[in-house]
Chains A and B, each alone.
Chain A
Amino acid sequence: MSDRPRPEIVVDGFPRQRPRWLELATSADHKDLGRILLGGALGFLFIALIELLLMRLQLAIPENTFLSPVTFNRMLSLYGATAIFLFAIPLALGLFYYAAPLQIGSRGTALPRLGQIGVGLWVAGATVLYAGLLFTPSEGGVNPLAPLTELAFLANNGIDAWATATGLCTLGFILVAIDLLTTLRNLRAPGMAWRRVPVFAWAAAVSSWLLIVVGPVLLAALTMLMVDRNFDGVFFADGSGGAPLLWQHLSWIFFSGAYMLVLIFALAAIAEIVAAFSGRPLLGRGVVMGSLVAIAVLGTLAWMQNMLTAPIGTGWMYFAMLMSVALVVPFGLVFFNLIETLIGGAVRMRAPLLWAVGALSAISIGLASELSHSMVAAGWRLQDTVDSTAATHFALVGGAVFGGFAALHYWFPKMTGRTMGETLSRISFWTTALGLVLAFVPLFFAGALEGQVVDAYKFYDGTGVNAYNLIASIGSFVLAIGIVMTLVNAIQSRVNGPVAGHDPWRGESLEWLALSPPDPHNFDVLPDVRSAHPMRDIRAAIANRTSRPETQAPERQPVA
Chain B
Amino acid sequence: MTPHSPGTDQIDTLLWIGFVAAAIIVVAINFALIYAVRKYRAGRGAEPRPREDGRRIQFRAAGALTAFAALVFVLSIVFTEKANEAPTTDSAGLASAEAEPLTIEATGQQWLWRYDYPNDAFSYYKLVVPVDTAVELELLSTDVVHTWNVPDLAGKRDAVPGKTHRVVFRADEEGTYTGESASLSGQAYAAMRTAVEVVSPEEYEAFLEQQKADIQAAQDRVVGLIEGEEAP
Query: Is the C-beta of A328 less than 8 angstroms from some C-beta in chain B?
Result: yes
Measured in the bound complex, the distance between the Cα atoms of B22 and A378 in whole Å is: 13
Smallest CB gap from B68: residue in A: A328
Q: A145 and B144: CB pair below 8 A?
A: yes
By a CB distance below 8 angstroms, the chain B residues around A69 are: 187-190
By a CB distance below 8 angstroms, the chain B residues around A457 are: 189-190
The one of A148, A287, A318, A451 in contact with B151, judged by C-beta atoms closer than 8 angstroms, is A451
By a CB distance below 8 angstroms, the chain A residues around B36 are: 339, 342-343, 347
The one of A321, A373, A458 in contact with B73, judged by C-beta atoms closer than 8 angstroms, is A321
Q: B156 and A347: CB pair below 8 A?
A: no
By a CB distance below 8 angstroms, the chain A residues around B76 are: 321, 325, 375-378
The one of B18, B40, B161 in contact with A378, judged by C-beta atoms closer than 8 angstroms, is B18
Interface size on B, residues (CB 8 A): 78
Q: B11 and A380: CB pair below 8 A?
A: yes
Query: Is the C-beta of A345 less than 8 angstroms from some C-beta in chain B?
Result: yes
Q: A325 and B73: CB pair below 8 A?
A: yes
Q: A311 and B58: CB pair below 8 A?
A: no
By a CB distance below 8 angstroms, the chain A residues around B39 are: 343
Smallest CB gap from A364: residue in B: B29
Query: Are A453 and B181 CB-contacts (below 8 A) given A69-B190, A343-B39, A448-B15?
Result: yes
By a CB distance below 8 angstroms, the chain B residues around A333 are: 58, 61-62, 65
Smallest CB gap from B139: residue in A: A311
Interface size on A, residues (CB 8 A): 87
Query: Is the C-beta of A278 less than 8 angstroms from some C-beta in chain B?
Result: yes
Distance to closest chain A CB from B74 (angstroms): 10
Measured in the bound complex, the distance between the Cα atoms of B189 and A287 in whole Å is: 46
Query: Are A453 and B61 CB-contacts (below 8 A) given A244-B162, A375-B14, A377-B76?
Result: no
Measured in the bound complex, the distance between the Cα atoms of B66 and A326 in whole Å is: 8
Query: Are A283 and B51 CB-contacts (below 8 A) given A139-B187, A148-B184?
Result: yes
Chain B 151-193 interface residues, beta-carbon cutoff 8 Å to A: 151, 154-158, 160-165, 179-190
Distance to closest chain B CB from A349 (angstroms): 6
Map CB proximity to B onto A441-465 as digits: 1 under 8 Å, 0 otherwise.
0000000111101111111000000
By a CB distance below 8 angstroms, the chain B residues around A147 are: 143-145, 161
Q: B160 and A322: CB pair below 8 A?
A: no
Map CB proximity to B onto A324-344 as digits: 1 under 8 Å, 0 otherwise.
011011001101110110111
Q: B190 and A456: CB pair below 8 A?
A: yes
By a CB distance below 8 angstroms, the chain A residues around B165 are: 311
By a CB distance below 8 angstroms, the chain B residues around A378 are: 11, 14-15, 17-18, 76
Q: A455 and B184: CB pair below 8 A?
A: yes
Query: Is the C-beta of A131 less than 8 angstroms from some C-beta in chain B?
Result: no
Query: Are A357 and B151 CB-contacts (below 8 A) given A148-B144, A328-B69?
Result: no
Query: Are A280 and B51 CB-contacts (below 8 A) given A329-B69, A382-B15?
Result: yes
Q: A384 and B183: CB pair below 8 A?
A: yes
The residue in B15, B110, B151, B185 that gathers the most chain A C-beta atoms within 10 A of its C-beta is B15
Query: Is the C-beta of B25 less than 8 angstroms from some C-beta in chain A?
Result: yes
Query: Are A377 and B83 CB-contacts (below 8 A) given A332-B61, A371-B18?
Result: yes
Query: Are A384 and B147 CB-contacts (below 8 A) given A145-B184, A371-B25, A378-B11?
Result: yes
Count of chain A to chain B residue pairs whose CB atoms are closer than 8 Å in the complex: 250
Smallest CB gap from B188: residue in A: A69
The residue in B75, B80, B83 that gathers the most chain A C-beta atoms within 10 A of its C-beta is B80
Stretch at the interface among B41-49, B127-135, B201-209, B213-221: B41-49
Smallest CB gap from A311: residue in B: B165
Query: Is the C-beta of B115 less than 8 angstroms from some C-beta in chain A?
Result: no
Query: Is the C-beta of B35 less than 8 angstroms from some C-beta in chain A?
Result: yes
Distance to closest chain B CB from A306 (angstroms): 12
By a CB distance below 8 angstroms, the chain B residues around A368 are: 21-23, 25-26
Query: Is the C-beta of A348 less than 8 angstroms from some C-beta in chain B?
Result: yes
The one of B29, B48, B80, B157 in contact with A314, judged by C-beta atoms closer than 8 angstroms, is B80
Q: A145 and B72: CB pair below 8 A?
A: no
Known: A243-B162, A369-B22, A455-B184; 17 extra A-B contacts, CB below 8 A, are A139-B186, A140-B184, A148-B145, A244-B160, A244-B161, A325-B76, A329-B65, A360-B33, A371-B21, A375-B80, A377-B155, A383-B156, A384-B147, A384-B183, A450-B1, A456-B189, A459-B190
Interface residues of chain A, those whose CB is within 8 Å of chain B, are 69-70, 73, 76, 139-141, 144-148, 152-154, 238-239, 242-245, 278-280, 283-284, 287, 309-311, 314, 317-318, 321-322, 325-326, 328-329, 332-333, 335-337, 339-340, 342-349, 353, 357, 360-361, 364-365, 367-369, 371-373, 375-378, 380-385, 448-451, 453-459
Which A-B residue pairs are the 6 nearest by beta carbons?
A: A380-B155, A372-B18, A238-B161, A346-B42, A384-B182, A238-B162
